[in-house]
Amino acid sequence: MTQAPFPHTDFEILDTKVYNHPLVYLDNAATTQKPRTVVDAISHYYTHLNSNIHRGAHYLAAQATELYEQTRHKVAQFIGAAKPCEIIFTRGTTESINLVAASFSQMALREGDEIIVTAMEHHSNLVPWQLAAERHKAVLRFVPYSDEGVLDIEAYRQLFTPRTRLVAATHVSNTLGTVNPVADMARIAHSHGVPMLVDGAQAVAHTPIDVQALDCDFYCFSAHKMYGPMGIGVLYGKEERLNAMPPYHGGGEMIADVSLQRSTYNVLPFKFEAGTPSVADVLGFGAAIDYLQGVGMNVIADYEKELLRYATERLLSVENLRIIGNAPHKASVISFLIGNAHPYDTGMLLDKLGIAVRTGHHCTQPIMDRYGIPGTVRASFAAYTTTADIDALASAIIRIAPMLQ
């Protein structure tokens, strides 16, 4: 196998010792570690640039505004958006989806209307639609998937009716690892005149994204899962869609003119960015994108593909281990169970050996119900994960397996 694209030396935290074992960090789907350049960018902002953006008539405010808006351009270019004004900074994927679920639904959803969602969504791309459906007396319809974790596209086609108003689907399942055919799904949705929202939280750090090629109407993601800071993320929306939607949060920056009775609203992207944004985190996010582009998304995607193949082979060679989610097209996430052991017990024992995995339902309780399991153990990889990390996981599982019977 080739070397990991990101060296451990860029990530001081990976030197941590856990109970006298070297940390093996395999919880990257929850959040990735941050390279030094990202931490430095945040620290540099607070040390040298701190000021509120857009409104200030002074040097620091102008500098901070310039860097903030440059980052918007960088994000637009990174995901292939047509225009920087199509990039709305939010607190993360969850807020981006809630924005669309509230604003689009207020504009477009009426009693008896329908929203199509897949049955494998993270709660973040399910509960906002449940809330919207409840508010507007609409109905949710679900795309089923096979035991392997592959969406049933024929069933998806059949779900459309004249009342369908929106499709929401995850690009990559955080639990099953499935990469969904979102470009095909968007094409089918558009043939019915229906827009499509894609939850890209688990995709952007692992594969090149071109929102114009996918032709989705909305694409949502979080910086912290792509080597950037927590508390910052993006809603990409096609300009004409965002222009048609009412504001989500009211406050400073999102207005054009305010009188006591009513207001007019600012142009994109500011219409959807009320209040003081997390400027330092936006700049840290920019540093994360520079870091990813320094290696290149194709290199990262190729490496993680090899890593997934290696890890799947290693884990399947462990007796009594079964993988939940066996789609032919997967991202570098492996959910598994060992015999009848409870995932929490497995995770706790792995932790004692320095191995950080996630256990539980991974905010996808309907997936657990679908398989009739209480949860899974999830190992998820990043561009700094090495084959030695995978070997350490496999050896640890073999070592703890007798304690789990």
Residue with Cβ nearer ligand PMP (49 or 186): 186
Residue with Cβ nearer ligand PMP (201 or 392): 201
Residue with Cβ nearer ligand PMP (29 or 211): 29
Instruction: Provide, rounded to whole angstroms, the least separation between the CB of residue 372 and ligand PMP.
Output: 22
Reading the block at residue 72, the tokens are 């918007």
List binders of ligand PMP among 46-105 (CB under 6 A).
92-94
Residue with Cβ nearer ligand PMP (122 or 314): 122
Which one, of 359, 362, 6, lies nearest residue 172 by Cα?
362
85 included as an active-site residue: no
Is residue 202 within the footprint of ligand PMP (CB under 6 A)? yes
Instruction: Provide, rounded to whole angstroms, the least separation between the CB of residue 230 and ligand PMP.
Output: 8
Residue with Cβ nearer ligand PMP (62 or 363): 363
> Beta partners for 197?
168, 218
Instruction: Provide, rounded to whole angstroms, the least separation between the CB of residue 385 and ligand PMP.
Output: 17
- Return the amino acid letter for 257: D
Binding mask 164-183 toward ligand PMP (x if CB under 6 A, else -) reads ------x---x---------
List binders of ligand PMP among 270-329 (CB under 6 A).
none
Residue with Cβ nearer ligand PMP (122 or 206): 122
Instruction: Provide, rounded to whole angstroms, the least separation between the CB of residue 61 and ligand PMP.
Output: 29
**What phi and psi, each to the nearest 5 degrees, are found at residue 141?**
-125, 140
Query: Which residue of 27, 86, 199, 253 would you call a contact of ligand PMP, by CB under 6 A?
Result: 199
Instruction: Provide, rounded to whole angstroms, the least separation between the CB of residue 137 and ligand PMP.
Output: 26
Query: Which residue of 98, 103, 118, 124 would you call a contact of ligand PMP, by CB under 6 A?
Result: 124
Alpha-carbon distance of 334 to 312, in angstroms, equals 8
Give the neighbor-by-neighbor strand order of the sheet with 333-338: 321-324, 333-338, 376-380, 358-360
- Specify the stretch interacting with ligand PMP by CB under 6 A; choose among 102-110, 121-129, 133-141, 313-321: 121-129
Query: Which residue of 32, 98, 103, 222 would you call a contact of ligand PMP, by CB under 6 A?
Result: 222
Query: Which residue of 105, 125, 164, 326 would you call a contact of ligand PMP, by CB under 6 A?
Result: 125
Alpha-carbon distance of 22 to 217, in angstroms, equals 44
Is residue 201 within the footprint of ligand PMP (CB under 6 A)? yes
Q: How many residues bind ligand PMP (CB under 6 A)?
A: 14
Binding mask 14-53 toward ligand PMP (x if CB under 6 A, else -) reads ---------------x------------------------
Is residue 335 within the footprint of ligand PMP (CB under 6 A)? no
Q: Which of 85, 216, 220, 363 is catalytic?
A: 363
Instruction: Provide, rounded to whole angstroms, the least separation between the CB of residue 214 and ligand PMP.
Output: 16
Contact 41, 286 (CB under 8 A): yes
Residue with Cβ nearer ligand PMP (225 or 271): 225
Q: Which residues bind ligand PMP (CB under 6 A)?
A: 29, 92-94, 122, 124-125, 170, 174, 199, 201-202, 222, 363
Q: Which residues are catalytic?
A: 363
